[in-house]
Amino acid sequence: MLRALRVKSYRFSLSWSRIFPDGTPSSLNQKGVDYYNRLINSLIANKITPMVTLYHWDLPQALQNLGGWENETMIDIFNDYCDFCFATFGDRVKLWMTINQPHSIAWLGYGLGQIPPNVKNPGTAPYLVAHNLIRAHAKAYHTYDDKYRTSQGGLVSIALNADWVEPKDVNVLREVVAADRALQFQLGWFAHPIFKNGDYPDAMKWQVGNKSDLQDLSESRLPSFTEEEKNYIKGTADMFCVNHYTTKIVGHVTGPLSPHSYASDRDLTETEESDSPTTAIQNQRAVAWGLRRLLNWIKEEYGNPQVYITENGVATQSSTTWDDSARMFYYKTYIDEALKAYELDGVRVHGYIATSLMDSFEWLQAYKVGFGLHHVDFSNPNRPRTPKYSAHFYYQVIKDNGFPMPDDEKMLYGHFRKDFLWSTATASYQIEGGWRSDGKGLSIWDKFAHTPVRVSDSDNGDIACDSYNKVEEDVAMLRQLKVTHYRFSISWSRVLPDGTTNNINEAGLNYYHRLVDALLAANIQPHITLYHWDLPQALQKIGGWENETIIVKFTEYADFIFSRLGHKVKFWITINEPYNIANVGHGYGVAAPGISFRPGTLPYIVGHNLLKAHAEAWHLYNEKYRANQKGIISITINSDWSEPRNPYKQEDIDAARRVIQFYIGWFAHPVFNGDYSDVMKTIIRERSLAAGLPKSRLPEFTPEEVKRIKGTYDYFGFNHYTTVLAFPVEYGDLQHYDADRGAGTIADRTYLDSGSGWLKISPFGFRRILNFIKEEYGNPPIIITENGISERGPVDLNDTPRSYYYEKYINQALKAYLLDDVDVRGYTAWSLMDNLEWATGFSERFGLFYVNRSDPKLPRVAKNSVNLYSTIISCNGFPDPALGPNDCLPEGMLTQTVTPDVDKPVQFLGMKLSVTDAETGLNTTFALLIVRLLLKLELLIDGDAFAKFCMNHLVPLEVTVGEN
């Protein structure tokens, strides 16, 4: 198993009673010694360094009969045992741990009595036992130092354990002090004497001393070291070894004086960190970030020693054989935090040891849980071992020595096409306000937001960002961004209050005329969405999107807008995110109209009508308006990318594929391929029939409808934010979209967070789903119509996470364009400004501009991400900094001078070119290639710079170029 993992070291413990059955050298058991010699020799033969723990809790019972660690004579007895082990195995063992987790021995064994020797004396015994353990460790260390170090050249330490403790409130000094006190009572109890000053932490001496005084005791229950002992103990470790598993939340209390107890001496409370995943061990949650904080605390407290993480792992139920995805996530996140501590914080992390090699007897849990990278079948007398998926994962981490940046995450330098569309976006209900102004009718979001408990903090869009009265200010923001386009939606109920052309609200329509005219005056093209979720409430009263008559009403509404605004607008979207309308609004019910009582049928009916309504609006524009207005029109479809939770498991791979087909494929397949995907049709039909229904819950298109819907696009409008991990879930006979999909989704814990629980930063998924669209739908032109990230909490105009998000995601789009030939035509950042984020209200902020809601004028303030996004727009991509300074021309193109090395590929204007003719430098063919690329890309070129480049680096060549 160790060979297969390719580990560099293996930490194991010696059984004291196997070597000395009664604990003393006079009872030497040679067969026990032979076992360890065989093990050590085998490790050495396989180039695996043994890391040996001398005492891991299993004291010979004969010594416990003499009082165990409460008896001071144990110090010399332990030293004799260590001396024998150093002499016998030390020629091959270079890494020694004297004692594992002395805190657990002292408190759990002698205080609470939860583990052997089951002594329950919480007020005195733990301190006495710890005192003896520390002195025993120091004596063993000095024995090695005096007798064996010169000849054997090994290192000796002690393995201490520590949770990280986070203050209950970091802004309250008393809570911060309590958290530090908790660490001092756990880790500092043993680390201070050994690594700092030879004595217990002041916090411990102060607390226990004062408690003892208040308890009318003549002296502190915490023993004292003599000055000689302090000097003897101080420095008795060659590296800092720490075992870590979880994080606790600590608050200050005044502990009781009676009964005497180590627990109440600390004056604090401990609770779970409730936001993190649970494990198979009660009160041991997987809180990866705590490891990095603990390592930094050790660095600051003890002078940045060399640190070995000597235990770290997670328990799963014993029924887990090989599919242990939870363990993979645990290792991935915890090792990543250790890496951050090493690379970013300068903590001297020298080693990491995963607990455990295999499932084993897990102390009080016996065989109910397992920590193993390998499953052990305890029902089989041969105890066969089987690697779990976590073993494969850990092998890869060891092989890579961490987490090297994948090639698909490295920056690509280059540029998008010349006419690339750069945009930002908003939606009417989220920004306009003016909910009853100038005759506007009610929408389903007006009704939803005014229904109690629907929207966080009882927020609503009555005023929102007041964009209805701030056209000039909104356009000024767009000018500052330097966008070429602006995507916004029309409020159906603002222009047609009852949803029909029987009642036209000219005042509402005039708002959009003013906005469109202001945009065009600023040389910004309007990109209009006809429907972004805010259906007129009057239409909802007659069934809304469930009623097939909505198709005609939506077509009439579209006809009205095309006729009034189409002569000024060239970019159209019929419907935004039909998935969310159908499933979130009519399945889960957490968005307007808030329907959730028919989740197995209604979403599919609504989706069916949305597709037919879109198709009719598209044909209307195509047949009646396109020739004169010369615009383009499509639908915007949204989707996450989905990866298998366990990449080694076919069932998870299949689940990830189903997630995609049931998400993006639900609406993209009919529009681009003519009908629902075979995956959806087959699964929903089979599950419907199996439940006794007469037909599939997924409606069918007639042959005429298939023809009518297929091809109703001029581009693929696509909204994307994040990546999820999928795994199979069996729902039985439940008739529901989730059950049809047969998959659950979670986020990878290592992905960076945002202000939205569902949105994790995962740029690589963007390129992958763009490639999926290319392969699945014939490489249609793609306009990315939404992409962005939220924040929550205190406002910070230095929104570094948003800048990071945009840089990484846009660069992935560039890779899809330049490297994968995906036909990406435009990119839209969500959102122009902080606004009402639907059911989460104003708590989540996606804006490039901050809207100060504490000021009744609702001023807009640029965040730092505005500079980043406007620079990318000006440069039309990412110029290569290795090629020297680049000035982005107003048109967004680059001019640059390149001095290639004939032996290496060069990057010129985002294109990699290879030089093969070393004798003449750049040959004529290469020169022509450059010119052809430039002409093909239609780039604006600085003529003088290009001529100089040719004269310096090309053989004589006459080239005629157009006036550009």
What element of type H or E holds 387?
A: strand 385-387
- Residue 595 CA: distances (Å) to CA of 409, 433, 592, 606, 836: 41, 24, 8, 11, 21
d(CA 896, CA 94): 57
Residues 886/889/892/896 CA torsion (nearest 10 deg) = -40
Query: From the DSSP assignment, how many helices (H) and strands (E) are in the chain?
Result: 36, 31
Q: Is 192 exposed, middle or buried (0-12, 13-18, 19+ CB in 10 A)?
A: buried
User: Catalytic one among 175, 229, 301, 311?
Assistant: 311
Query: How far from chain centre, in Å, is Cα 31?
Result: 51
Provide the strand spans (E) within 875-922: 877-878, 906-908, 911-913
Residue with tokens 């657990």: 104
Residue with tokens 């979670």: 746
- Structure token digits, residue 376: 């052990």
| Of 301, 285, 284, the residue nearest 293 (C-alpha) | 301
User: Catalytic one among 432, 786, 791, 837?
Assistant: 786
What element of type H or E holds 635?
A: strand 632-638
Task: Examine the residue annotation and report whether 311 is marked as an active-site residue of this protein.
Answer: yes
| Of 196, 175, 146, 311, the residue nearest 242 (C-alpha) | 311
Query: How far from chain centre, in Å, is Cα 204?
Result: 39
CB 666 within 8 A of CB 680: yes
Concatenated DSSP letters of 463-529: TTT-GGG-HHHHHHHHHHHT-SEEEEE--HHHHSTTSSTTS--HHHHHHHHHHHHHHHHTT-EEEEE
Concatenated DSSP letters of 3-39: HHHT-SEEEEE--HHHHSTTSSGGG--HHHHHHHHHH
CB 488 within 8 A of CB 531: no
CB 345 within 8 A of CB 296: yes
- Structure token digits, residue 35: 């076992």
CB 606 within 8 A of CB 547: no
Amino acid at 378: F
Sequence-distant (6+) residues with CB within 8 A of 429 are 443, 445, 446, 461, 464, 491, 532, 533, 534, 836
Which amino acids are annotated catalytic?
A: 311, 786
